[in-house]
Amino acid sequence: MKKQELIHLHGLLAEVRTHYEDSNGIEIDHDDYASLGVQPTSIHRSKTDHKAAVFALAEGLTDAMATDSTEQEPVSAAAD
């Protein structure tokens, strides 16, 4: 993945986090992400820094979604 694509993904995940927190009233634990000090707008940072930030942000999101009991809608295994 190119650096520009990684930065774009970083920005999208940051938007997902914000939307999830706002719509569910839940504060996602993102201490690992915040400790990296890399924001989607930090275009001067290295590709490796953005990759670490994306993984930390994704891990925080998935952990929060796994423990959130408000979203218990069954999903069909069959395709539409």
Domain boundaries, the chain: 3-66
Q: How confident is the model at residue 46 (pLDDT cuts 50, 70, 90)?
A: very high
**Which residues contact residue 33 at a Cβ distance below 8 angstroms, ignoring those fewer than 6 apart?**
53, 56, 57, 60
CATH topology for 3-66? Substrate Binding Domain Of Dnak; Chain:A; Domain 2 (1.20.1270)
Per-residue model confidence (pLDDT) at position 66:
84
Per-residue buried b or exposed e for 9-42, using 16+ beta carbons within 10 Å of the residue's own CB: bbeebbeebeebeeeeeeebebeebeebebbbee
pLDDT (0 to 100) of residue 79: 66
Question: Which carries the bigger pLDDT value, residue 64 or residue 48?
Answer: 48
> Is the pLDDT confidence value at 7 over 80?
yes
**What pTM value is reported for the model?**
0.80
Q: Report CA dihedral (20, 66, 61, 23) to the nearest 10 degrees.
A: 10
> Confidence class of residue 67 from pLDDT cuts 50, 70 and 90?
confident
